[in-house]
Structure 1
Amino acid sequence: MKIPFLLRVVRSTQKIIRAQSHISSNVNQDEKKFFITTPIFYVNASPHIGHLYSAVVADCQSRYKQLRGFQTKFSTGTDEHGLKIQQAAEAASEDPLLFCTNVSQKFKHLFNTCSISCTDYIRTTEQRHYASVEHFWSALKDKGLIYKGTYEGWYSTPDESFLTASQVGDAVDSSGENVKISLESGHKVEWMKEENYMFRLSMFRPQLLDWLKGNPNAVRPEHFHQAVVQWLQEDLPDLSVSRQKSRLQWGIPVPGDPDQTIYVWLDALVNYLTVAGYPKNHQQWWSVARHVIGKDILKFHAIYWPAFLLGAGLPLPHTIHVHSHWTVGGKKMSKSLGNVVDPLERSSVYTTDGMRYFLLRQGVPDTDCDYTDDKVIKLLNAELADSLGGLLNRCTAPALNPAQVYPLFCPALFPVECTKQSRAVDEDYQMLDAVRNLSTTVEQYYEDMHVYKALEAVSACVRQTNGFVQRHTPWKLNRLDTEERLWQDTIIHIALECLRIYGTLLQPVVPQISNKLLSKLGVKQSERSWTALHFLPRFHGMDCPFEGRALGADNDVLFNRLERRNVKQKTKKEKASKKNLE
């Protein structure tokens, strides 16, 4: 009996899903690879702090994996097609490509300024992407998954999306007229009827549910995973994947039908494959792909995108990491409210690493986070300037470290076990245990993309180390007395070892500050990887490669305290400078 063509497609997708959970175990451990992406950002407006947050989250993961010895690919970029771009370019009286280029350059400049170490910055107006999209479309079409039909329904231009009746509600606009809006985004919708191409999304509902149920890490955090499962409990209608050229000129034409333009979301999602090398030589990177996205585009990434991939016979992403939004005063950022936070301006005021640290320390994937300048100042002063910076300044100051070296450790004064004769106390051993276990704790949090928890753990240990130094007041010891000099050197040696661990672990978050800290300690580039983390080897009777080594010559403060008055003045100057440039 001959099996219908579409049934064969279904069976092939089931094989892909069954194989999905085994992909990570098949990675060649001698050539570990890690591929992470941000969303590509829509160029209808300048970047805001939420865009930077997505990029910093992905950048942190990429840097962390490099420390673990992985070969990494990290992509970001801009989404440049669609009706919103067409309308924005018309409003600005600009050629669409020139309009896109100008805004895309703002994103690129922001990411370069904020140490976003992407290996690929993609624009959907590039020829390589056109070729990928055309090939992907043809793959779906050849399998009978795209057909021509008439679509009628509510359409949201800002969301570039058709909506079902259950997704639409009533509202009153600013002029007092009754309108229909998207219940999810709040954007106005209009009734539309047109002939275009449809993707057989409905047939993939069972496979998508199997994928989610069989792969608990497919979408993280857990409550976003459950949200997608809940969406799939409802009917999944076929998806319109093209628009009439008469309405949408700015996009990639449908292969073989120049009167139709490919739907912007199908076009945009394929960027991840383009970066991987699709349609040739993409397997090695695509098999380890992970996405970082905001919660507002979860449905596109966790339903449409996996269905497209299954239809094309390609593996699904390893994990879709979802984060929530940044608000200001509890409200979503918008131009109309005048509460959009300019990340480039704030990075200039608080420093690049300061801004990175704040976003990753305060950003919680599960819930929205509220931004205020006071929060930034308070956090950075407490944890970077006073706690971490103060510890480094104190322990490398000439008064405590006149030879400016990594001092010697005396095992007799700090034995393996606390005794009545030792000068160390129980709290000191508790601190050593906490720092010794810190890399394991931080590793788990980095792997789970709970960077805020990793930074919380590091900050707690920094406080313990400051408590250790304060408890033993090494500045009161007499260096003319041999035992007191040895004890002072031991205290400083332990504190510097703690600082070395903190500096190494913080590299994915604050690369410039970490480099400054480790350089001050005399730690070479080859000694900054995860495998070089061995903490306080002299305590365990082993040699310490840093003992007796000269400290770095840089005596600058690790992170300058932020004074509210100075911050406000600098912010005003930045805003004035920006206005002049515009």
Structure 2
Amino acid sequence: MSRRFFITTPIYYVNGAPHIGHAYTSIAADVMARWKRLDGFDVFFLTGTDEHGQKVEQAAVATGVDPQAHVDRLSADFRAMAEAMGVSFDDFIRTTEARHKRACAAFWDRLVASGDVYLGAYEGWYALRDESFYNDDELTTLPDGTRLAPTGAPVSWVKEPSYFFRLSAWQDRLLAFYDANPEVIGPPSRRNEVLSFVRQGLKDLSISRSGFRWGVPVPNDPDHVMYVWVDALVNYISALGFPDENGPLWRFWPADLHLLAKEIVRFHAVFWPAFLMSAGLEPPRRVFAHGWWTVEGEKMSKSVGNVIDPRALVAEFGLDPVRYFLLREVPFGSDGDFSRRALIGRLNVELANDLGNLSQRTLSQVARNLGGRLPAIAAPTEDDEALLSLAAALPDQLRELIDRQALHEALETVWKVVRAGNAYVDRQAPWALRKTDPDRMAAVLRVLADTLRAVATVLQPFMPDSMGRMLDQLGVPVEARSLAGLAVPLPGGTVLPAPSGIFPRFAEQAA
């Protein structure tokens, strides 16, 4: 396959258990990876864990365990979360792996060779929680004198020897890069934020630390470890075999899409392109930063006790309804609020009533009135043609929407067809046609089956298991479930299995 697609999640920092925010990023990336596979692309989908830094070292010491044992346990939990969410990653990279450390050392050497690295001393406001330095004008001061980063993390004044990257020299080149590639940062609000930050002037970036040991050693200077964000960003190329640019996976570079949450867009859209270009490598084609989730109107917080374990949601509601809800509820790129009521509403109204009933009504009538055999295609009426043309347009419509990460719009586009299908059933009343015009009834049921096939095919990336079962019931062979497969109609007379409900309604249990 000549068309390639490389998509990444951020590697998740192992400073606690995975929560719904991590699941959200991973599920969204999974939908896009599955969509590209469905569309015939050669896909490489990368996720993993970020395991170095002072914060991790301190947490390990506090719990009395070796840092490696500490991150082994937490990384395994993130991997288990990804698997529980149905995330079809091709590789799970860990920054404590030998292959990653080799890549970091080679990447550092390239930065040094470019002349963009020098040894100095750093003084500045450092937020341990963010593993990031901030400028004085970015901070807020509380009445008690505590200074906070824009993320709300407390900062302290740090002074230590440090290697620096000449980020100040990259301002004009980055602005030229953004200008030449207007789609490289999304959504537009994040692009504007990055442009504003760069235009204000860039300062050289501290890229090593000497106050702790839990990190990737700086080549030829064992007193320093790499700044965690240099180490972390390199994961995207270490997983492809860097520095071996002739290896089998290097064909996927540059990344087509780095997907991440908005608080880390600066690292991916400013620092990372500058690092890459300094090292003589192509920058990513697109960085997209989505919003945050609140819970019932409140920010997620361990102290409040409202952090949601996505695996508990799946245990209660099922995997595909949770995947659907997270990508349907809010415009992708904006902030969203999680509520049980909203989840149950989406499940019962859209999945059970709209799509589930359309499938059940169609397939139960095929089973009852046509001996469970798919009817042949008949000459379409104007009403038939209207619905079939809506269904046939779905692949091209979703291709454009998913390519710009408008996942909520993609689902709404599909639901317009689902709603049109239900309206068509009501107008055509195949249950009445059974007595007055059996041939027309068969034609109507075939139109509905073909519409459902198109709907279920394009929804596979969002709800793989449920749509797989729907396609089973529609008699679609596994090898015919790609977008290209939709061009080949199923033969009339295909024997369909007995239909069964795909989405049961959810009822809250009385306390």
TM-score (norm 1): 0.84
Describe the SS at the equivalent of 1:117.
Answer: coil
Describe the SS at the equivalent of 1:353.
Answer: helix
Note the C-alpha offset of 1:400.
4.3
Report if the CA contact (8 A) 2:331-2:409 is conserved. no
Letter of the 2:15 partner, please give it.
N
**Distance (Å, rounded) in 1 between the aligned partners of 2:227 and 2:254:** 26
**Distance (Å, rounded) in 2 between the aligned partners of 1:205 and 1:72:** 33
Letter of the 1:216 partner, please give it.
P
Report if the CA contact (8 A) 1:322-1:365 is conserved. no
Q: 1:336 aligns with which of 303, 308, 331?
A: 303
Report if the CA contact (8 A) 1:395-1:401 is conserved. no
Match of 1:21 in 2: none
Describe the SS at the equivalent of 2:142.
Answer: strand
Alignment of 1:562 onto 2:506 = yes
Letter of the 2:231 partner, please give it.
D
Match of 2:396 in 1: 440
Q: 2:386 aligns with which of 430, 440, 450?
A: 430
Q: 1:360 aligns with which of 327, 335, 342?
A: 327
Q: 1:201 aligns with which of 155, 167, 190?
A: 167
Describe how 1:194-343 pairs up with structure 2 within 5 A: 194-244=160-210, 247-280=211-244, 281=247, 283-343=250-310
**Distance (Å, rounded) in 2 between the aligned partners of 1:504 and 1:319:** 27
Gaps of 5+ in 2: none
Note the C-alpha offset of 1:344.
0.8
Match of 2:419 in 1: 463
- Residue 166 to residue 471, structure 1, CA distance change in 2 (3 Å): same
Note the C-alpha offset of 1:429.
4.4
Alignment of 1:80 onto 2:51 = yes
Report if the CA contact (8 A) 1:324-1:364 is conserved. no
Note the C-alpha offset of 1:139.
1.1
Note the C-alpha offset of 1:377.
0.5
Q: 1:111 aligns with which of 64, 68, 82?
A: 82
Match of 2:458 in 1: 505
- 1:184-227 Cα offsets, whole Å, 9 max, x none, are 10111111111111111110111100000110111111221121
**Distance (Å, rounded) in 2 between the aligned partners of 1:373 and 1:158:** 30
Note the C-alpha offset of 1:272.
0.2
Match of 2:373 in 1: 405
**Distance (Å, rounded) in 2 between the aligned partners of 1:478 and 1:230:** 65
Alignment of 1:486 onto 2:439 = yes
Note the C-alpha offset of 1:464.
0.9
Note the C-alpha offset of 1:402.
4.2
Q: 2:25 aligns with which of 46, 50, 54?
A: 54
Structure 1 vs Structure 2: percent identity of aligned residues?
38
Instruction: Say which one has the larger Rg.
Output: 1
- Residue 478 to residue 406, structure 1, CA distance change in 2 (3 Å): closer
Note the C-alpha offset of 1:477.
3.1
Note the C-alpha offset of 1:89.
1.4
Describe how 1:126-145 pairs up with structure 2 within 5 A: 126-145=97-116
Note the C-alpha offset of 1:86.
1.1
Note the C-alpha offset of 1:396.
1.3
**Distance (Å, rounded) in 1 between the aligned partners of 2:292 and 2:467:** 27
Gaps of 5+ in 1: 1-29, 419-423, 538-543, 570-582
- 1:51-109 Cα offsets, whole Å, 9 max, x none, are 01111111111111111111110000000000111122122222111111111111111
Shifted more, 400-409 versus 373-382: the winner is 400-409
- Residue 460 to residue 112, structure 1, CA distance change in 2 (3 Å): same
Letter of the 1:550 partner, please give it.
V
Letter of the 1:265 partner, please give it.
W
**Distance (Å, rounded) in 2 between the aligned partners of 1:512 and 1:320:** 29
Report if the CA contact (8 A) 1:147-1:199 is conserved. yes
Describe how 1:34-73 pairs up with structure 2 within 5 A: 34-73=5-44
Note the C-alpha offset of 1:408.
2.6
**Distance (Å, rounded) in 2 between the aligned partners of 1:487 and 1:364:** 41
- 1:442-487 Cα offsets, whole Å, 9 max, x none, are 22111111111010011111011011112222222345x6xx1111
Alignment of 1:545 onto 2:490 = yes
**Distance (Å, rounded) in 2 between the aligned partners of 1:274 and 1:466:** 50
Note the C-alpha offset of 1:365.
2.8
Describe the SS at the equivalent of 1:509.
Answer: coil
**Distance (Å, rounded) in 1 between the aligned partners of 2:181 and 2:87:** 30
**Where in structure 1 do 4 or more consecutive aligned residues deviate above 6 Å?**
none
- Residue 307 to residue 441, structure 1, CA distance change in 2 (3 Å): same
Alignment of 1:520 onto 2:473 = yes
**Distance (Å, rounded) in 2 between the aligned partners of 1:81 and 1:333:** 24
- 1:217-259 Cα offsets, whole Å, 9 max, x none, are 1111122112111111112110111111xx2221111111111
**Distance (Å, rounded) in 2 between the aligned partners of 1:437 and 1:258:** 59
- Residue 325 to residue 401, structure 1, CA distance change in 2 (3 Å): farther
Match of 1:98 in 2: 69
**Distance (Å, rounded) in 1 between the aligned partners of 2:88 and 2:327:** 16
Letter of the 2:282 partner, please give it.
P
**Distance (Å, rounded) in 2 between the aligned partners of 1:256 and 1:57:** 40
**Distance (Å, rounded) in 1 between the aligned partners of 2:433 and 2:390:** 26
Note the C-alpha offset of 1:546.
3.0
**Distance (Å, rounded) in 1 between the aligned partners of 2:9 and 2:490:** 39
Report if the CA contact (8 A) 2:93-2:239 is conserved. yes
Q: 2:429 aligns with which of 473, 477, 493?
A: 473
Letter of the 2:502 partner, please give it.
L
Letter of the 1:337 partner, please give it.
V
Note the C-alpha offset of 1:374.
0.8
**Distance (Å, rounded) in 2 between the aligned partners of 1:476 and 1:564:** 36
Letter of the 2:205 partner, please give it.
L
Q: 1:163 aligns with which of 121, 134, 156?
A: 134
**Distance (Å, rounded) in 1 between the aligned partners of 2:296 and 2:378:** 53
Match of 1:191 in 2: 157
- 1:242-291 Cα offsets, whole Å, 9 max, x none, are 111xx222111111111111100000000001112110036411134420
- 1:498-531 Cα offsets, whole Å, 9 max, x none, are 0000010001111101100001011011111111
Report if the CA contact (8 A) 2:332-2:407 is conserved. no
Report if the CA contact (8 A) 1:405-1:551 is conserved. yes
Describe the SS at the equivalent of 2:222.
Answer: strand
**Distance (Å, rounded) in 2 between the aligned partners of 1:53 and 1:158:** 21
**Distance (Å, rounded) in 2 between the aligned partners of 1:249 and 1:463:** 59
